[in-house]
Homo-oligomer: A and B are copies of this chain.
Amino acid sequence: MSNGGNAASSSTHLLDLLDEPIPGVGTYDDFHTIDWVREKCKDRERHRKINSKKKESAWEFTKSLYDAWSGWLVVTLTGLASGALAGVIDIAADWMNDLKEGVCLSALWFNHEQCCWGSNETTFAERDKCPQWKTWAELILGQAEGPGSYIMNYFMYTYWALAFAFLAVSLVKVFAPYACGSGIPEIKTILSGFIIRGYLGKWTLMIKTITLVLAVASGLSLGKEGPLVHVACCCGNIFSYLFPKYSKNEAKKREVGGWVGVAVAARARVHDEVSYYFPLKTLWRSFFAALVAAFVLRSINPFGNSRLVLFYVEYHTPWYLFELFPFILLGVFGGLWGSTRFGKYPVLEVIAVAAITAIVAFPNPYTRQNTSELIKELFTDCGPLESSQLCQYRSQMNGSRAFSDATEATATPGVYSAMWQLCLALIFKIIMTIFTFGLKVPSGLFIPSMAIGAIAGRIVGIAVEQLAYYHHDWFLFKEWCEVGADCITPGLYAMVGAAACLGGVTRMTVSLVVIVFELTGGLEYIVPLMAAVMTSKWVGDAFGREGIYEAHIRLNGYPFLDAKEEFTHTTLASEVMRPRPGDPPLAVLTQDDLTVEDLQTVINETSYNGFPVIVSKESQRLVGFALRRDITIAIENARRKQEGIVRNSRVYFTQHAPTLPADSPRPLKLRSILDMSPFTVTDHTPMEIVVDIFRKLGLRQCLVTHNGRLLGIITKKDILRHMAQMANLDPESIMFN
């Protein structure tokens, strides 16, 4: 309809127009919370429309099929894209990581391992040395050995690390500030219904992908699992714009996010939170997305681990009851690690951290190595083919340890020096991870935490092994370990330690144990894992109930209602609702005796996001709830299109216009923007129930009544503030609504 002009035609449309959806009504502002109930209803309405039309024509039927399958399509596309991106990131990060050490002369785009595959000149034992691969010293100085070339390699390693880190931080700063960090706290908040525009957009996706490669390659102590979740959610969000079913509905969009989030990282605990709002088919789609992504990843990076699990290990000895003691110790370590305060030092420059990381990491093989490979090595049990320094036991020299009776577990100097290096690596990793998390680059805690746990575990494991070997007549070992027999598996300790640290950091529930199963295929070791993870959770909880993601959410003041935390106070709804005693009375609208001017006065004088509509000031009986944004849009829209609307036009929310004096201007009907089914509770309702309702139904606000009269309002922000107050935190830290 044209903006002005033909008054007659526009006035015949007048009644219809007001029942038509007003453009802009039902959308949200940035940093606001969506209304789950309204979005769900909108979606079901749309679904019903399509369903009722589908028998009309073949075209409509095709459209309904397209609509029904669009969920699967989005998931497939997202799986394809995120799998491809994960593969590209893997390959690029590997290549750039090796670039710090040298280049492949025969093909510049090969990393170290690929470069030496083609070579026939190397044996299996020396598989990473081949003439095609040149270290920087060989290239620049022309010599491979000697202190000069060591220093040259050291220098080039640091140089590249700094270059990558600098590039990463600059790209993030200039193009997409949302690309930094792991993104998981924000995604949890977004999935719970908060709007952060651009957080899952194409710029964030692009910059996060590039800078993630750079950050990983720079050797900073960070993991890529968390950021990969963010990348996958960006893909899901971008693809959801192709399908009107998802692009036009904030709740459905979040459903896609939920599928993808669960798929890429059940690990990230997004799962638990998500399950409240989303239907069960979520899990199917998640699994499907995970499958597609895994397949793409596998076909892009076929030289990676060909199994679907990240770290596959198999141990051959059972575990013994006395080992529970060191396992629980590892759990305590994990809990302590989890209560460390990360990212408190944002002042420190990325470049400084990257320089220190590179300088300290280079001399120690366990810190120079790729972290995933380090974890794999630490998890692996010593077998006859294992060439690792960690496995240089005496009998190993004969290559007979695993198949013989394994009577020799005497450590050689190699193992002792490995132990020292592991201890140094542990200290280094702990310090650097604490400082790295919080830098303005994409970074995750998943892999670094596992690495720290695995190092600690392996150290404990070797110590217990040597103890059992030299003191096999102790009462502890006597019963289980035959003289000199190989009864301790240090690799298992590494696995337990990794699980404990991961558990401490993320405070995941049992899902963690399931994930570690998935990662390792180690179904036999459920008890050690459970013991360690539970201990780490208890220890961590003793130092503060929240995991690293919750802490981050709280620090940022996001309106996130944690599903885990139980509300145990005795307050009633009447004590939390606004207006508080002494406040001005609640800003309400009456259903049929306000003018446009009155309405605008209310809107201008208050900053509330919505207003209850009541029958009359006397009765205080509740009719519905109208959102500020919707009222503003509706009035503007009416002003633009209708001549009749002036300052003293009557506004009514009822079905029929009130009877007005003959000379009064045309009234404005606003029933279409009125939410006729606002949630209400009585003033006697305990807050624990109110909190429960907000959590389970995803509410934004709830009205409080007493004996049928409107008393006040409780918003999500009021609840978060009240909870902060109850926990003796600063209630002003809750910033958004």
A328 to chain B, nearest CB (A): 15
The oligomer's copy count stands at 2
Bound-state CA distance A276–B275 (Å) is 9
For chain A, residues 70 to 111, give those with C-beta under 8 angstroms from any C-beta of chain B. none
Query: Does A477 reach chain B (CB closer than 8 Å)?
Result: no
> Is there an interface contact between A693 and B689, defined as CB atoms closer than 8 Å?
no
**What does the 1/0 interface line of A350-362 toward B look like (CB < 8 Å)?**
0000000000000
With A568-B48, A696-B697 as contacts: A41 and B280 at CB distance below 8 Å: no
For chain A, residues 260 to 310, give those with C-beta under 8 angstroms from any C-beta of chain B. 272, 275-276, 279-280, 283-284, 286-288, 291, 307-309
Bound-state CA distance A511–B621 (Å) is 48
Across the interface, which residues of B come within 8 angstroms of A679, CB to CB? 681
> Is there an interface contact between A707 and B283, defined as CB atoms closer than 8 Å?
no
Bound-state CA distance A686–B678 (Å) is 11
For chain A, residues 558 to 597, give those with C-beta under 8 angstroms from any C-beta of chain B. 563-564, 566, 568, 570, 573
Nearest residue in B to A276 (C-beta to C-beta)?
Answer: B696
> Is there an interface contact between A513 and B287, defined as CB atoms closer than 8 Å?
yes
With A523-B518, A568-B47 as contacts: A37 and B689 at CB distance below 8 Å: yes
With A291-B530, A688-B44 as contacts: A563 and B708 at CB distance below 8 Å: no
> Is there an interface contact between A44 and B280, defined as CB atoms closer than 8 Å?
no
Across the interface, which residues of B come within 8 angstroms of A682, CB to CB? 624, 676-678
Q: Which of B44, B677, B681 contacts A685 (CB 8 A)?
A: B677
A133 to chain B, nearest CB (A): 31
**What does the 1/0 interface line of A659-689 toward B look like (CB < 8 Å)?**
0000000000000000011111110111011
Query: Does A141 reach chain B (CB closer than 8 Å)?
Result: no
Query: Does A40 reach chain B (CB closer than 8 Å)?
Result: yes
Across the interface, which residues of B come within 8 angstroms of A272, CB to CB? 280
> Is there an interface contact between B279 and A524, defined as CB atoms closer than 8 Å?
no
A730 to chain B, nearest CB (A): 25
**What does the 1/0 interface line of A712-734 toward B look like (CB < 8 Å)?**
00000000000000000000000
> Is there an interface contact between B621 and A709, defined as CB atoms closer than 8 Å?
yes
Across the interface, which residues of B come within 8 angstroms of A707, CB to CB? 615, 621-623
Q: Which of B286, B510, B566 contacts A283 (CB 8 A)?
A: B510
A616 to chain B, nearest CB (A): 10
Query: Does A705 reach chain B (CB closer than 8 Å)?
Result: yes
With A622-B708, A684-B676 as contacts: A570 and B48 at CB distance below 8 Å: yes
Nearest residue in B to A286 (C-beta to C-beta)?
Answer: B510
Query: Does A735 reach chain B (CB closer than 8 Å)?
Result: no
Query: Does A521 reach chain B (CB closer than 8 Å)?
Result: yes
A615 to chain B, nearest CB (A): 5
> Is there an interface contact between B526 and A523, defined as CB atoms closer than 8 Å?
no
Query: Does A534 reach chain B (CB closer than 8 Å)?
Result: yes
For chain A, residues 478 to 536, give those with C-beta under 8 angstroms from any C-beta of chain B. 509-511, 513-514, 518, 521, 523-524, 526-527, 530, 534
> Is there an interface contact between B568 and A44, defined as CB atoms closer than 8 Å?
yes
Query: Does A619 reach chain B (CB closer than 8 Å)?
Result: yes
Across the interface, which residues of B come within 8 angstroms of A349, CB to CB? none
With A696-B697, A707-B623 as contacts: A686 and B615 at CB distance below 8 Å: no
Across the interface, which residues of B come within 8 angstroms of A40, CB to CB? 688-689, 692
**What does the 1/0 interface line of A586-628 toward B look like (CB < 8 Å)?**
0000000000000000000000000000010001111110000
Q: Which of B526, B622, B692 contacts A697 (CB 8 A)?
A: B692
Nearest residue in B to A708 (C-beta to C-beta)?
Answer: B621
Across the interface, which residues of B come within 8 angstroms of A709, CB to CB? 621, 708
A307 to chain B, nearest CB (A): 7
> Is there an interface contact between B41 and A688, defined as CB atoms closer than 8 Å?
yes
Scoring A288, A677, A709 by chain B CB atoms within 10 A of each residue's CB, the highest score goes to A677
Across the interface, which residues of B come within 8 angstroms of A41, CB to CB? 686, 688-689
> Is there an interface contact between B523 and A308, defined as CB atoms closer than 8 Å?
yes
Bound-state CA distance A284–B280 (Å) is 22
For chain A, residues 200 to 217, give those with C-beta under 8 angstroms from any C-beta of chain B. none
With A688-B40, A689-B37 as contacts: A527 and B291 at CB distance below 8 Å: yes
Across the interface, which residues of B come within 8 angstroms of A685, CB to CB? 676-677
Bound-state CA distance A501–B693 (Å) is 39
> Is there an interface contact between B684 and A677, defined as CB atoms closer than 8 Å?
yes
Across the interface, which residues of B come within 8 angstroms of A521, CB to CB? 521, 523
Bound-state CA distance A513–B286 (Å) is 13
Across the interface, which residues of B come within 8 angstroms of A510, CB to CB? 283-284, 286-287
A115 to chain B, nearest CB (A): 28
Nearest residue in B to A615 (C-beta to C-beta)?
Answer: B707
Across the interface, which residues of B come within 8 angstroms of A287, CB to CB? 510, 513, 530
Across the interface, which residues of B come within 8 angstroms of A308, CB to CB? 523-524, 526
Bound-state CA distance A530–B289 (Å) is 12
A254 to chain B, nearest CB (A): 16
A436 to chain B, nearest CB (A): 30
A335 to chain B, nearest CB (A): 15
Across the interface, which residues of B come within 8 angstroms of A288, CB to CB? 530
**What does the 1/0 interface line of A213-224 toward B look like (CB < 8 Å)?**
000000000000
For chain A, residues 376 to 407, give those with C-beta under 8 angstroms from any C-beta of chain B. none
For chain A, residues 419 to 466, give those with C-beta under 8 angstroms from any C-beta of chain B. none
Nearest residue in B to A695 (C-beta to C-beta)?
Answer: B696
Across the interface, which residues of B come within 8 angstroms of A676, CB to CB? 682, 684-685
Bound-state CA distance A615–B527 (Å) is 60
With A568-B44, A676-B684, A693-B697 as contacts: A309 and B708 at CB distance below 8 Å: no
A590 to chain B, nearest CB (A): 12
> Is there an interface contact between B708 and A615, defined as CB atoms closer than 8 Å?
yes
Nearest residue in B to A37 (C-beta to C-beta)?
Answer: B689
**What does the 1/0 interface line of A17-49 toward B look like (CB < 8 Å)?**
000000000000000000001001100100110
A722 to chain B, nearest CB (A): 16
Across the interface, which residues of B come within 8 angstroms of A620, CB to CB? 708
A530 to chain B, nearest CB (A): 6
Bound-state CA distance A708–B615 (Å) is 9
Nearest residue in B to A279 (C-beta to C-beta)?
Answer: B566
With A283-B510, A513-B287, A530-B291 as contacts: A677 and B689 at CB distance below 8 Å: yes
Across the interface, which residues of B come within 8 angstroms of A621, CB to CB? 621, 707-709
> Is there an interface contact between A524 and B44, defined as CB atoms closer than 8 Å?
no
For this complex, 17 residue pairs linking A to B, each with C-beta atoms less than 8 Å apart, are A37-B689, A41-B686, A41-B688, A44-B686, A48-B570, A280-B563, A283-B510, A286-B510, A287-B530, A291-B526, A307-B523, A308-B523, A308-B524, A518-B523, A621-B621, A677-B684, A677-B686
Instruction: Enumerate the 10 nearest inter-chain pairs by beta-carbon distance, A residue then B residue, closest first.
Output: A621-B708, A677-B685, A676-B684, A696-B696, A708-B708, A283-B510, A677-B682, A287-B510, A621-B707, A677-B684
Instruction: Known pairs A44-B568, A47-B568, A677-B682; list 11 more (Cβ under 8 Å).
Output: A37-B689, A41-B688, A283-B509, A308-B523, A309-B523, A573-B677, A620-B708, A622-B707, A623-B707, A676-B684, A677-B685
